[in-house]
Amino acid sequence: MTDRIYFDNAATTPLDPRVWEGMRPHLPQPWGNPSSMHREGREALAAVEAARRQVAELLGAEPGEIVFTSSGTEADNLALQGVLFAAGLRDCHAISSAIEHPAVLACCRHLQRLGVALTLLPVDSQGLVDPADLERALRPETRLVSIMAANNVTGVVQSVEELARISRRHGALFHSDAVQAFGKIPLDVRRVPLDLVSLSAHKLYGPKGVGALYVRRGVSLTPLVHGGGQEEGRRSGTENVAGIVALGAAAELARAEMAAEAARLVQIRDRLIDAIIAMVPNAYLIGDRYCRLPGHICLGLSGMECEAIKLLLELDGLGFAVSSGSACSSHHAGQPSHVLEAMGFDAPRARGSVRITLGRFNTQQEAERFLELFPRAVASLRPLGSLARAG
Ligand code: PLP
């Protein structure tokens, strides 16, 4: 596998060996239950609390404002259902956007069936929510606004600061799904009035199956999972100690390395975008060029939308892991992306994107290797006679 080049860091990231070193001592069984009073239990509890401080620090939060969950999906569900159940569901209005991850959108639909009035904001052709649309959609009974920090398909970063300020001014809580953004771009709850923030370890070089929700002190939340009262009653269930320790270690590394890593990835990303557009005549960038995650590229290939899956398989054969749209898309192969449709793409074009997402372990040399082979892979799929500059 070492000759493989992994450009699908938005789907999941490899475990950082330093994160593995942090979680390893917590894996052997038997190991203490953080709820136990003996030494083993107290040690496990201390490890969980240290991780809580590390995650809190990256967000500028208090440790007590972090609730560990089993995933980003659970964090999103806890935020939306937790706030709206606490508000009584009926007579509540919630606002989200048309481009959210299914963890938010499906949860919104569920809440709608339970009686919550829902508005989904549109996005423009660059994938951005217009703050004026939010301003217009807010009502006196709006309890919650949920807009993602960065999109998993396009990598487009929303101006959550402005959106959160508008929501606060209208008395609505603001949640942001920051699963793609956490540890990649700065998010500071002391400066920005974010009330709830979802995150997930496996997008930040940690393991799968552990996430967290930031809940600003004072926000009322009805738990999704009832039981032994762990996480101050907000999420019952014996803690995934090793996973939580890993998430803490991942957050600590991101805090130390985020600025330098982002600058490095932006360079490689922009080199890839410019070179691909110069070499492959029908390639175009999807989503705002500048409001985007440092390592995230989403490409369209006009006239070849139906060939996107073939192209991914061709690249896979050449040793590159890239994706179409999102990790979920393998469950919905051939279906248009709801994100691209919301950006105004027609169904054929909304089916045919290629997502290249760079991460901590990618290098400039890997990008150059990709640039050697990508135009050829595209050309190999084109009908004869339509080849232009692809070399
Ligand atoms: N939200 C976004 C924006 C995501 O990209 C993902 C995963 O792809 C999730 C939520 C779900 O996170 P998890 O895989 O931890 O359930």
- pLDDT score recorded for residue 7: 95
Ligand 1 atom nearest residue 201's Cα: 15
Among 254, 288, 315, the domain boundary falls at: 254
Per-residue pLDDT for 184 more than 80? yes
pLDDT score of 307: 84
| 323 Cβ inside 6 Å of ligand 1 | no
Centre of ligand 1 to C-alpha 55, Å, is 17
Asked whether residue 210 falls in the same domain as residue 326, the answer is: no
pTM: 0.95
Which residues does 260 contact at the CB level (< 8 Å), separation at least 6? none
In the predicted structure, residue 334 carries a pLDDT above the cut 80: no
Ligand 1 and 103: CB distance under 6 A: yes
Mean pLDDT of all residues in 271-290: 96
Looking at the chain, the whole-number percentage of residues with pLDDT higher than 90 is: 86
In the block, which residue shows the tokens 């939010």? 134
Please report, for residues 2, 75, 309, 362, the alpha-carbon distance to residue 6 in angstroms, rounded to integers and kept in the order given: 10, 27, 17, 7
Reading across the β-sheet that carries 93-97, which strands appear in turn? 66-69, 211-215, 196-200, 173-177, 142-146, 93-97, 117-121
* 26 to 211, 242, 253: CA distances (angstroms): 17, 5, 19
Distance (Å) from CA 154 to ligand 1 centroid: 14
Looking at every residue in the chain, the average pLDDT score rounds to 93
Considering the domain architecture, whether residues 44 and 66 belong to the same structural domain is answered as yes
How many other CB atoms are found less than 10 A from the CB of residue 186? 14
Can you tell me the distance from the alpha carbon of 10 to that of 238, in angstroms, rounded to the nearest whole number? 29
Q: Per-residue pLDDT for 229 more than 90?
A: yes
Q: Is the pLDDT of residue 144 over 60?
A: yes
- Nearest residue by C-alpha to atom 6 in ligand 1: 179
Residue nearest to atom 8 of ligand 1 (CA): 11
- Looking at the structure, tell me whether residues 143 and 277 fall in a common domain: no
Average pLDDT over residues 184-188: 98
Residues 192 and 324 in one domain: no
Query: Residue 20, SS3?
Result: helix
The CATH number of the domain where 99 resides is what? 3.40.640.10
Q: Could you tell me if 201 and 299 lie in one domain? A: no
Amino acid at 122: P
Distance in Å, CA 203 to ligand 1 centroid: 8
Whether residue 125 sits in one domain with residue 250: yes
Which of the four pLDDT bands, split at 50, 70 and 90, describes residue 335? confident
Please identify, among 254, 281, 298, the residue that sits at the C-terminal boundary of a domain. 254
Do 31 and 149 have their domain in common?
A: yes
| Judgement on whether residues 194 and 224 belong to the same structural domain of the protein | yes
* pLDDT at 165 > cutoff 80: yes
Rounded mean pLDDT of 78-88? 97
253 lines ligand 1 (CB under 6 A): no
Ligand 1 contact via 180 beta carbon (within 6 Å): yes
CA of 103 to the centre of ligand 1 (A): 7
319, pLDDT greater than 90: yes
Of the CA atoms within 13 Å of residue 142, those in its CB half-sphere come to 26
Domain of residue 311: give its range: 5-12+257-390
- 131 and 278 in a single domain? The answer is no
pLDDT band at 308 (very low <50, low <70, confident <90, very high): confident
- Nearest-atom number in ligand 1 for the CA of 327 is 8
Q: 44 C-alpha vs ligand 1 centroid, how far in Å? A: 27
Flag whether pLDDT at 388 surpasses 70.
Answer: no
Which CATH number is 298's domain given? 3.90.1150.10
Tell me the average pLDDT across 79-92.
96
Residue 211 CA: nearest ligand 1 atom is: 15
> In this predicted structure, which of 147-151, 295-299, 387-391 has the lowest mean pLDDT?
387-391
My answer on whether 203 and 120 are in the same domain is yes
Question: Domain end: 197, 222, 254, which one?
Answer: 254
Report the pLDDT averaged over residues 224-246: 96
Has residue 252 got a pLDDT over 80? yes
Could you tell me if the CB of 177 is within 6 A of ligand 1?
A: yes
CB distance 101 to ligand 1 below 6 Å: yes
**CA separation for the pair 385, 52 (Å, rounded):** 59
User: Are both 247 and 268 inside the same structural domain?
Assistant: no
Q: Which of 203, 324, 329, 330 has most ligand 1 atoms within 8 Å of CB, for mutation? A: 203
pLDDT confidence of residue 384: 47
Looking at ligand 1, which residue's alpha carbon is closest to its atom 14?
Answer: 72
Please give the pLDDT value at position 330: 56
Number of domain units in the chain:
2
Beta strands in 148-208 (DSSP E): 173-177, 196-200
Distance from Cα 3 to the centre of ligand 1, integer Å: 28
Is 211 close to ligand 1, i.e. is its CB under 6 Å away?
Answer: yes
Does 146 have pLDDT greater than 80?
Answer: yes
Q: What is the pLDDT of residue 245?
A: 95
pLDDT category of residue 325 using cuts at 50, 70 and 90: low
Whether 217 and 296 share a structural domain: no
Residue 102 banded pLDDT, cuts 50, 70, 90:
very high
Q: Is the pLDDT of residue 317 over 80?
A: yes
* Positions marked active-site: 328
